Amino acid sequence: MPPAHLLVIGYVWPEPRSSAAGGHIMQILQCFLDQGWQVTFASPAGDGEHMADLAALGIARQAIELNNESFDRFIAELTPDVVLFDRFMMEEQFGWRVEKHCPSALRVLETSDLQSLRDARQVLLKDALKAQPQREDFSTLFSLDHPDLYRHMAAADISQREVAAIYRSDLSLMISQPEIELLTGQFRVPGALLHHCPLMVEPSGPGKPFEQRAHFLSIGNFRHAPNWDAVLWLKTVLWPRIRQRLPQAELHVYGAYTPPKAMALNNPAQGFRVLNWAEDALQVMGDARVALAPLRFGAGIKGKLVDAMLCGTPSVTTPIGTEGMHGPLPWPGLVASDVDGLVDAAVRLHQDQAAWEHAHAQARPLLEARYRYRPHAEALVTRIDTLRSTLQAHRLCNFTGAMLRHHHHKSTQYMAQWIEAKRKNTA
């Protein structure tokens, strides 16, 4: 099909150097720019500290407002062929307006990860720690087969909202294959509504050798709850035990939007250094000997661990960290689900050059097999083009989505119009 016009409605302006979600949306945009598409990015959010320079890429930028008819005029004039909602909250807010003014536009949802899965796992972790505050083995909490996971998700408001948005959309981009299996298996979402679209990268050189690297590294946006939990676990439990065995070791903790509570953890005397935002994440990752990502809850696939592979940096993480990331291929590092296992893994990779080099060598094959940019970019564009040419038949097969759109969009429309009218009367 000929090049078309893509409108992205973002929850925030993309920040590829601050989060994996920001990097993923930029990778998706690049897929369509490579095909000669016109791309417009719109968001109701304020400017971010580390936002991408969209204009430099030829992407038009448009500020929009919630509950404001100005968006109706904007999209009616723009007439995009495809509208991509970046997070389900944007589909909730703007989906009815898109359908009203551009009914033939293909509506795509970028989930980034299943927020409802992440939230349910956070609840399970809190419950486990409340029942056993000194718990050190979390293996039973990591599996998608956890007996309480679906029960927590199914009862949660956020799950019902997120899955409803997936049904209302023509296609949802899923970064993790296990999350596709969760949706199609437990929630009975039709597979035709989902498309696997992981992080897409181009592998480069092998990175620095063992003897040219030093220290441990932890990196991640502090606004992301799983990252903050991992840093606290490192500070209070894991790092003291690692440091006891490696008295000269240092852990360098980087993260965007570092709050005062994170800076308060900084203690150079203990080798625990909180260093704020890394302007070049790959540079600091490539200098580190071992990346630590002790994630006790979360969802999706982890940008920090893909970055570690790109730099040839072995990682120590949990089954949450590796979920959906390596399939049958070996992990380029070590995985454990309890405190002793994580500490042993960290010490081993830091000290044992043979073990480090074995893990280092496994990174490139995994990237080549699962994360190369071009195959995934071509598959995404092909899927979008196919749906554009068969959209009427595709929607006819999704009666549940049509029903949900009818009821949700009407209620959302009336609420938005009431808010707008109230604002005008009080202005």
Q: Which two tokens stand for residue 198?
A: 């992981």
What pLDDT is attached to residue 416?
A: 59
Q: How far is CA 206 from CA 212, 223, 359, 360, 385, in A?
A: 13, 31, 12, 8, 36
HSE-CB at 71 with a 13 A cutoff on CA atoms is 25
* Residue 407 exposed, middle or buried by CB count within 10 Å (0-12, 13-18, 19+): exposed
Task: Please check whether residue 12 is in contact with residue 48, taking contact to mean a CB–CB distance below 8 angstroms.
Answer: yes
pLDDT (mean) for 359-378: 97
Tens digit of each residue's pLDDT (9 = 90 or more) over 264-308: 999 999 999 999 888 899 999 999 999 999 999 999 999 999 999
Which neighbouring-strand residues pair with 8?
A: 41, 84
Q: Mean pLDDT lowest for which of 272-286, 347-361, 407-421?
A: 407-421
What pLDDT is attached to residue 410?
A: 60
How far is 369 from 321, CA to CA, in rounded Å?
18
The CA radius of gyration of the chain, in Å to the nearest whole number, is 22
% of residues, the chain, pLDDT over 70:
96
Q: Which two tokens stand for residue 205?
A: 């050189």
What pLDDT is attached to residue 206?
A: 84
* CA nearest neighbour of 158 among 119, 123, 193: 119
Q: What structural domains does the chain harbor?
A: 5-116+146-200+373-426 (3.40.50.2000), 210-370 (3.40.50.2000)
Count the Cβ atoms, other than its own, within 10 Å of residue 337: 20
pTM of the model: 0.92
* CA nearest neighbour of 316 among 296, 284, 298, 292: 292
Tens digit of each residue's pLDDT (9 = 90 or more) over 126-140: 999 999 999 999 998
Counted residue by residue, the chain has a size of 427
What pLDDT is attached to residue 423?
A: 62
What pLDDT is attached to residue 414?
A: 55
Q: Which amino acid would we find at residue 225?
A: A
Contacts with 303 (C-beta within 8 Å, 6 or more apart), sequence order: 19, 20, 21, 23, 24, 199
Query: pLDDT band at residue 407, thresholds of 50, 70 and 90?
Result: confident
pLDDT (mean) for 332-347: 98
What pLDDT is attached to residue 408?
A: 72
Helical (H) or strand (E) element with 70: helix 70-78
